[in-house]
Homo-oligomer: A and B are copies of this chain.
Amino acid sequence: MYKISYEDELRLARTLLRACGMPGEDADIAGSVVTHSDFTGVYSHGISRLTGYLRLFRGGAYNPRPQVKVIKDGPAVLELDCDNALGVVTVNRAFDMLLPKARAQGIAICTGRRSSNIGCASYYGWRAAENDVIALVCCNTYLSMAPFGGAERLIGTNPIVVGVPTDEEYPIVMDISTSGVAMGKIKAYEREGRELPAGWANDAHGRPTSDPAKAYTVLPIGGHKGYGLAVMVDIVSGVLSGAGFGREIGSAMKRESENTGFCMIMIDPAHFMPIADFKRRADEYARMMKQSRPAEGVKEIFLPGEIEYRLFEKNRSEGIEVSEALQSELLGLAVELSVVPPGTDFAGLVEAARPSAG
């Protein structure tokens, strides 16, 4: 087991992403997001993704050196064609471009088409809070849900993230998928030989199943309500953006362009009241929830995103463990990309990344 610091993982991720063919600035952005993901405990979108990214770059599904095109640039509207870039990179660029519009107008919207997986979405919520704006980000994703009452995969897990700035309290950041669980979790249950809890998945005929091997679609939260939310994410991220939706969404694994899309809506609270007042009110809200009477057996009430902020602080000061399996995977990638010579150990790889991208 190797314990890696935040700074070391950030440099390692950036170094490997540059070696994958990404321009320096884009690699820096993507490196920040994967490191944020690991240090907030979301390992599924962390540095373990890098070998997958390389495969997708090589297969042609993702473009490491995209030419992002601005289709529309109005005072409050931004419309992007992302040229099959990593969604992680374009959503951050969209954030940068949207911020001055939201500051000027009070609210602004950006859509992106020909996009791809946006990575650990809480990152955009954190950025919103750091910049004193409220941001909502959602995207459509590869297909794993059926329409309510249906049996075909036509909708993704379609996540929604909202970030809210506070003053002294942790920012409030909601990061949810509109499905109960992701397909990845079903696969983990299959590997572990476990039965699925009720309400997680249906089989290919749309019948409830507890057998992970037979699970074909995951189910929305709250039945028709989560279905409604997922549809609305499709509408603004897919239909409005000019991206694909339903069967038009490509499988990156089959070397197809995903053509998923995203939508970001940014609100500057300073247009409604002095920003200090808004942040004080958000603090009051958080404290009222936090200090309220917990349910029997519950020690502490958390605001959305609070657990991730706390985990990040702990991990930031202590570092996080990198499993043997992940060490060899990253070493294999680094050798393949000639970042280090064969035979280097993981400590050597971390060391090698230090000067080049620090």
Contact = CB atoms under 8 A, between A and B. Distances in A.
B231 A174 contact: yes
State how many copies of this chain the complex holds: 2
A154 to B, nearest CB: 6
A249 B313 CA distance: 34
Contacts of A292: 146-147, 150-152, 154
A54 interface: no
Interface string A212-230: 0000000001101111110
A217 to B, nearest CB: 9
Nearest to A231: B304
A49 interface: no
Contacts of A285: 234-235, 238-239, 245-246
A225 B175 CA distance: 8
Interface string A136-155: 00000000001111111010
Interface residues of A, number: 79
Interface in A152-186: 152, 154, 160, 162, 164, 172, 174-177, 180
A68 interface: no
A292 B148 CA distance: 11
Nearest to A220: B222
A54 B206 CA distance: 48
- Centre residue among A109, A207, A222, A278 by max chain B CB count within 10 A: A222
Contact of A289 (B150, B175, B294): B150
A295 B205 contact: yes
A149 B265 contact: no
- Centre residue among A107, A205, A242, A285 by max chain B CB count within 10 A: A107
Contacts of A310: none
A147 B239 CA distance: 34
A154 B289 contact: yes
A131 interface: no
Nearest to A78: B106
A54 to B, nearest CB: 33
Contacts of A111: 272
Contacts of A150: 289, 292-295, 298, 301
Contacts of A74: 105-106, 271
A149 B109 contact: no
A180 B222 contact: yes
A239 B278 contact: yes
Contacts of A177: 225
Contacts of A149: 294-295, 298, 300-302
A273 B207 CA distance: 39
A108 interface: yes
A229 B176 contact: yes
B106 A288 contact: no
A231 B107 contact: no
The 7 closest A-B pairs by CB, nearest first: A206-B295, A221-B222, A174-B228, A77-B106, A228-B304, A176-B225, A147-B289
